[in-house]
Amino acid sequence: MDTRYDPKTVEQRWYDTWDQRGYFKPRESLTGKTFTISMPPPNITGDLHMGHAMYTLQDVLIRWHRMLGDTALWVPGTDHAAIATQNVLEKQLAKKGSSKEAIGREAWDRMVQEWYDTTGHTILQQMRRLGFSADWSRIRFTMDPTYVEAIRYVFVQLWKEGLIYRGPRIVNWCPRDQSAISDLEVQYEEEDGHLYYLDYPVEGGGVISVATARPETMVGDTAVAVHPDDWRYKDLIGKSVVLPIVHRRVPIVADEAVDQEFGTGAVKVTPGHDTTDYEIGERHHLPILSILSLDGRMNIPEVPQLHGLKVPEARDRIVEMLRAEGALQKIEPYRHSVGHCDRCGAVIEPIVSAQWWVRMKPLAGPAIAVAENDDLRFHPERWREQYLRWMRNIRDWNISRQLWLGHRIPVWTCANGHAVAYLKDPKECEQCGNRELTQDPDVLDTWFSSSLWPFVTLGWPADTDDLRRYYPTQVLDTARDILYLWVARMVFMSLHFLNTVPFSDVLIHGTVLAPDGRRMSKSLGTGVDPLDMIEQYGADATRAWTAYFGTGGQDIRFSEEKIESYRRFANKLWNATRLLVGKLPEGAAPIPIDESALEPADLWILGRLSAVTRSVTASFERMEFGPAIDGLFDFAWKEVADDYLELIKPRLQAGDASTVTALSVAIHVLETILRLLHPIMPFVTEELWQRLPHEGETIMYAPWPLPDETIEDRELMDDMAHLLDVVRAVRNVRQSSDTKSRQQPAEATSQRALLSEPVGRRYLATLAQLELNGKLPEGMPQSVVVVGQTTVRLGLPADGAPDAQRLKGELEKKLREIELIQEKLNNPEFTSRAPAAVVERERARLAQAQKAADRLRGLLGETGKLG
RNA sequence: GGGCGGUUAGCUCAGUUGGUAGAGCGUCUGCCUUACACGCAGAAUGUCGGGAGUUCGAGCCUCUCACCGCCCACCA
């Protein structure tokens, strides 16, 4: 073995081997249980980013359950991502000076198909670099023919049930994509703007002032609204105003939606271009005027000066016109939030348009119930409230998009006006037999198809074996930003069509931020490519990083140092293995542990191993991997490598029965650590596991370790901890004085069981590099170390520095400690109210401290010996 | 406007039921000790955001204020 671990070759080799041997496919269950995760399908056009690296958490769970003996299945696939893909292809066409309109729908569809075929599943290929053990033979794509059929089935079914309807409503319109988008796809951002105060002349005299951030929409006003209780305007309600510029007469209405405090307390009402106004309009049966065409330009032939202008230009122009008419009272700076398209960033225009909607109230009911009764659980738990809040206030879902890419809405209208949803492309109208049919031009919201993902990927609506065996799934892991867009929708769709939750546990992992706390973004240059991290530090280190930070529920500032530390950790494990493998013949079988031959150190490390196994397993069960990787890192590095392996080195050299025992224990401990670590760091653990004596053909199928509580000896743990404290204290003194020769003569006395025995003294001698044979020669200058019930006298070289000063300092520290404890114990409130165990512990601490103080005093008395 | 999360060592973050504050990185010192210098050993470093309260005892519970971030809402 080389002195360094090189992840590159190892990772590639093992991934190919696992894949070829079919280890990622579900295998027969040893527990009778299945464990399934549906992988959130990345966009087919997307690049791998740190968000995808977070899918490591899913792989950790899958690998863990595989080791537990469950039939584990991770279903991968990709999403067609309508808007995103369309943007890519339109740019390609634009480069050639063409457009989708120019080539026509058929050619466009061919182009899309070709793109899908050539893009393939590149992003899933990249995921392999991270070691993901998904069953790649089951890759699904939301454009697969069977998937398309399933979507169609769902649409027709919902339509028949009256849960899908078409109707004009005010919608969020993206002028660039020329499509409606749902409320969830609008991103609001604070922007500096102006608040314009307009004077509208009231019929019969006087003016009423309204405040608006969008003066250009005044040409579409169909009313002015005031609050019904507003005394200022009481008399004006029911009267009319004449709009400047267009000279249209519109009523003054009273509506509760008006905020008396804001602006002038009177508001212009533009039902065609404002959500609130639209609702006011509904209540007062106001006409709706559309003043924008679908590309976001003004569309008002009556006012030629404005016609065809973009909104910002129209705004400037109309302000001039208003000023000219004396209708502009004032302009104030005003900061407000403006909606932008999630995908392309264009400013969203509310417009009235006929769209397809899903009636949400009936679907939300069951989805609320499952979260309330815990059939659906959230990790961290606080997301449950977020989910419920949204579900309880849900509004109908706009599922139609005016795009050229996506699943067409399967509704055909005949010449007689019969609109019907068809499972198969119809030849004639179902209702009248008319053969002149036209299909609705709209496509479905991408999230409509995504909402069916976990069950359609298993074959639904067909009654498949997969569906029966693997559905519902267990865990859904994702980022919080698609909790509503995706997670919530899967829940109500599954409940409606399969009468079950799609998964029992929702794991919301943290979002990776740039080191400065901003969002990671390619355009800002703050993005981090996981493939770069894999290249530099290995997939295992990258995975360990995501496992460490991913499940705490906190957002994560990217920190490369931590990944680096896990790379070193892999190297540490490699070298620990190297040490042990070097003592073994090639291809050695596992050495059975002879329990009768175990030394205290062996019992100690086995006890610690058991405790670590228990806590790691508990962390996994809570789906909190941070404490798991942290605990394993610490145990493997500090306790096993730094302490235990150092402790047994003399035995490993001895070449007798003690060598065999030490090796058997060390190998067992290391092999167990590898198994505990495997779900998080699969590559290095497989590589090292194969090099150590082992049973089985892959660590992927090795059993998950169980704790052995019978071996956890409390007193021994305490004694070992004490011994290590003594070691540190001796090393400290040796470093600060000149007592650095390799084997320092010393004598030790202790009231601790372990340190009173030769074996304990041997450990102390090994770790602190002491010559502990018998007594120090009479009169030899010495340095004394006192730790609790143990005293070590170090023989000093003639020029050694005296340490009375240090002992004095320690005595003072002890006295302060004694004082503090006594104060506590002298408080009758404490002794009477605190639990007996706590009081007892304080008493014991006091006794210990007093003994140590006595010993220090005694030593300080031996001034002669202390130089 | 409502809600949620955060504020702990120079930096990035842990801290399970309230009972003597931790890690990684960085810093300082000494070591090429035959698994690892991608290492070993030792050391330093915290009014746990401010204030008040509950309690024998608060990083942890309650209230309040400040700042940072996110989500939701019909923010003219």
Cα angle at A342 between A338 and A345, to 5 degrees?
Answer: 65
Closest nt to residue A553, judged CA to C1': B5
Distance A488 CA to B69 C1' (A): 24
Q: Is the CB of A336 under 7 A from strand B?
A: yes
pLDDT tens column, A469-511:
999 999 999 999 999 999 999 999 999 999 999 999 999 999 9
Q: Is the CB of A194 under 7 A from strand B?
A: no
Amino acid identity at A300: I
Q: Which nucleotides of B are covered by protein (CB under 7 A)?
A: 3-6, 12-15, 19-20, 23-26, 29-30, 35-43, 55-57, 68-76
Distance A390 CA to B30 C1' (A): 61
Distance A627 CA to B15 C1' (A): 10
Q: How far apart are CA A80 and CA A45, in angstroms?
A: 8
In terms of Cβ atoms closer than 10 Å to its own Cβ (0-12, 13-18, 19+), residue A305 is middle
Cis peptide before A201 (omega within 30 of 0): no
Q: Is the dihedral of CA A99, A102, A108, A111 positive or negative?
A: negative
Closest nt to residue A570, judged CA to C1': B38
pLDDT tens column, A533-587:
999 999 999 999 999 999 988 899 999 999 999 999 999 999 999 999 999 988 8
Q: Is the CB of A736 under 7 A from strand B?
A: yes
Distance A501 CA to B35 C1' (A): 51
Closest nt to residue A485, judged CA to C1': B71
State the DSSP H helix or E strand holding residue A208, giving kind and residue range, or none if neither.
strand A207-212
Strand partners, A784: A793
Distance A567 CA to B21 C1' (A): 28
Amino acid identity at A559: S
Distance A609 CA to B16 C1' (A): 19
Closest nt to residue A265, judged CA to C1': B76
Q: How far apart are CA A64 and CA A628, in angstroms?
A: 12
Q: Tell which residue, A270, A347, A274, has the closest CA to residue A311.
A: A347
DSSP conformation class of A671: H
What average pLDDT does range A399-409 have in this prediction? 93
pLDDT band, residue A741 (cuts 50/70/90): low
Name the residue closest to the C1' of B14 by its CA.
A627
Q: Tokens at residue A848, please?
A: 């210990």
Q: What's the pLDDT at A864?
A: 47
Distance A516 CA to B66 C1' (A): 22
pLDDT band, residue A819 (cuts 50/70/90): confident
pLDDT band, residue A738 (cuts 50/70/90): low
Which of A336-345, A777-786, A833-842 has the least mean pLDDT?
A: A777-786
DSSP A77-143: EEB--HHHHHHHHHHHHHHTT--HHHHHHHHHHHHHHHHHHHHTTHHHHHHHHTT----GGG-EETT
Whether the per-residue pLDDT at A87 is higher than 90: the answer is no
Which of A114-123, A270-279, A320-329, A649-658 has the least mean pLDDT?
A: A114-123
Closest nt to residue A569, judged CA to C1': B38
Q: Is the CB of A727 under 7 A from strand B?
A: yes
pLDDT tens column, A137-157:
999 999 999 999 999 999 999
Distance A624 CA to B3 C1' (A): 25
Q: Is the CB of A391 under 7 A from strand B?
A: no
Q: Tokens at residue A185, please?
A: 């796809």
- For A409, the 3-state DSSP assignment is coil
A141 φ/ψ sector (left φ>0, alpha ψ -120 to 50, else beta): beta
Q: How far apart are CA A724 and CA A242, in angstroms?
A: 90
Decide: A687 and A10 in contact? Cβ < 8 Å. yes
In terms of Cβ atoms closer than 10 Å to its own Cβ (0-12, 13-18, 19+), residue A583 is middle
Q: Is the CB of A559 under 7 A from strand B?
A: yes
Name the residue closest to the C1' of B2 by its CA.
A389
Q: Is the CB of A680 under 7 A from strand B?
A: no
A90, A175, A192, A403, A407 from A178: Cα distances, Å: 13, 5, 26, 7, 17
State the DSSP H helix or E strand holding residue A329, giving kind and residue range, or none if neither.
strand A328-341
Cis peptide before A472 (omega within 30 of 0): yes
Q: Is the CB of A188 under 7 A from strand B?
A: yes
Whether the per-residue pLDDT at A372 is higher than 50: the answer is yes
- For A743, the 3-state DSSP assignment is coil
How many C-beta atoms surround the C-beta of residue A469 within 10 A?
14
Q: What's the pLDDT at A441?
A: 93
Q: What's the pLDDT at A128?
A: 96
What average pLDDT does range A168-179 have in this prediction? 92
Q: How far apart are CA A329 and CA A393, in angstroms?
A: 39
H helices of A464-599, where?
A: 465-470, 489-498, 530-537, 539-550, 560-581
A118, A157, A415, A442, A443 from A418: Cα distances, Å: 40, 18, 8, 17, 19
Name the residue closest to the C1' of B15 by its CA.
A627
Closest nt to residue A483, judged CA to C1': B71
Q: Tell which residue, A130, A73, A63, A53, has the closest CA to residue A550.
A: A53
Q: Is the CB of A653 under 7 A from strand B?
A: no
In this prediction the ipTM stands at 0.96
Q: Is the CB of A373 under 7 A from strand B?
A: no
Cis peptide before A350 (omega within 30 of 0): no
Q: Is the CB of A554 under 7 A from strand B?
A: yes
Q: Tokens at residue A263, please?
A: 């602006």
Q: Tokens at residue A743, please?
A: 């084997």
Distance A579 CA to B34 C1' (A): 11
Distance A403 CA to B65 C1' (A): 51
Helix axes A600-621, A758-768, angle to 10 degrees: 70
Cα angle at A634 between A628 and A635, to 5 degrees?
Answer: 90
Q: Tokens at residue A350, please?
A: 């509310």
Distance A614 CA to B19 C1' (A): 24
Q: How far apart are CA A517 and CA A134, in angstroms?
A: 32
Distance A844 CA to B48 C1' (A): 28
Find where tokens 């073995």 sit. Answer: A1
Decide: A165 and A357 in contact? Cβ < 8 Å. yes
Q: Is the CB of A827 under 7 A from strand B?
A: yes
Whether the per-residue pLDDT at A120 is higher than 50: the answer is yes
Decide: A724 and A643 in contact? Cβ < 8 Å. yes
Amino acid identity at A602: D
Closest nt to residue A653, judged CA to C1': B34
Cα angle at A262 between A261 and A264, to 5 degrees?
Answer: 95
DSSP A682-737: HHHHHHHHHHS--SSS-GGGSPPP---GGG--HHHHHHHHHHHHHHHHHHHHHHHT
- For A69, the 3-state DSSP assignment is coil
What average pLDDT does range A647-669 have in this prediction? 94
* Helix (H), strand (E), coil (C) string for A829-850: HHHHHCCHHHHHHHHHHHHHHH
Q: How far apart are CA A705 and CA A711, in angstroms?
A: 15
Q: Is the CB of A213 under 7 A from strand B?
A: yes
Decide: A413 and A438 in contact? Cβ < 8 Å. yes
Q: Tell which residue, A209, A180, A214, has the closest CA to residue A194.
A: A214
Pairing mode, if any, of strands A240-242 and A249-254? antiparallel
Closest nt to residue A845, judged CA to C1': B20
Q: Is the CB of A785 under 7 A from strand B?
A: no
Q: How far apart are CA A541 and CA A758, in angstroms?
A: 42
Distance A645 CA to B32 C1' (A): 20
Half-sphere exposure of A571 (CA within 13 A, CB side): 14
Decide: A460 and A500 in contact? Cβ < 8 Å. no
Which 563-582 positions of A have CB less than 7 A from strand B?
564-565, 567-568, 571-572, 575-576, 578-579, 582
pLDDT tens column, A125-139:
999 999 999 999 999
Distance A189 CA to B5 C1' (A): 20
Put the strands of the sheet holding A397-398 in their side by side order.
A179-181, A164-174, A349-358, A397-398
Decide: A90 and A82 in contact? Cβ < 8 Å. no
Q: Is the CB of A209 under 7 A from strand B?
A: no
Q: Is the CB of A650 under 7 A from strand B?
A: no
Q: Is the CB of A751 under 7 A from strand B?
A: no
Q: Tokens at residue A785, please?
A: 């170390």
pLDDT band, residue A867 (cuts 50/70/90): very low
Whether the per-residue pLDDT at A199 is higher than 90: the answer is yes
Q: Is the CB of A260 under 7 A from strand B?
A: yes
Closest nt to residue A186, judged CA to C1': B72
- For A444, the 3-state DSSP assignment is strand
Q: How far apart are CA A51 and CA A717, in angstroms?
A: 42
**Mean pLDDT, all residues of chain A:** 92
Q: Is the CB of A172 under 7 A from strand B?
A: no
Distance A631 CA to B9 C1' (A): 21
Name the residue closest to the C1' of B19 by its CA.
A838
* Distance from the Cα of residue A758 to its chain's centroid: 52
Half-sphere exposure of A20 (CA within 13 A, CB side): 6
Pairing mode, if any, of strands A744-750 and A790-795? antiparallel
Q: How far apart are CA A578 and CA A769, in angstroms?
A: 24
pLDDT band, residue A84 (cuts 50/70/90): confident
Distance A632 CA to B62 C1' (A): 37
Q: At A786, phi and psi to the nearest 5?
A: -120, 120
- For A516, the 3-state DSSP assignment is coil
Distance A283 CA to B73 C1' (A): 20
pLDDT band, residue A797 (cuts 50/70/90): low
Q: How far apart are CA A85 and CA A143, in angstroms?
A: 13
DSSP conformation class of A613: H
Q: Is the dihedral of CA A489, A490, A495, A501 positive or negative?
A: negative
Closest nt to residue A733, judged CA to C1': B42
Name the residue closest to the C1' of B71 by its CA.
A386
Q: How far apart are CA A547 and CA A562, in angstroms?
A: 12
Q: Is the CB of A605 under 7 A from strand B?
A: no
Q: Is the CB of A707 under 7 A from strand B?
A: no
Q: Is the CB of A517 under 7 A from strand B?
A: yes
What average pLDDT does range A801-810 have in this prediction? 72
Q: Who has greater pLDDT, A288 or A795?
A: A288
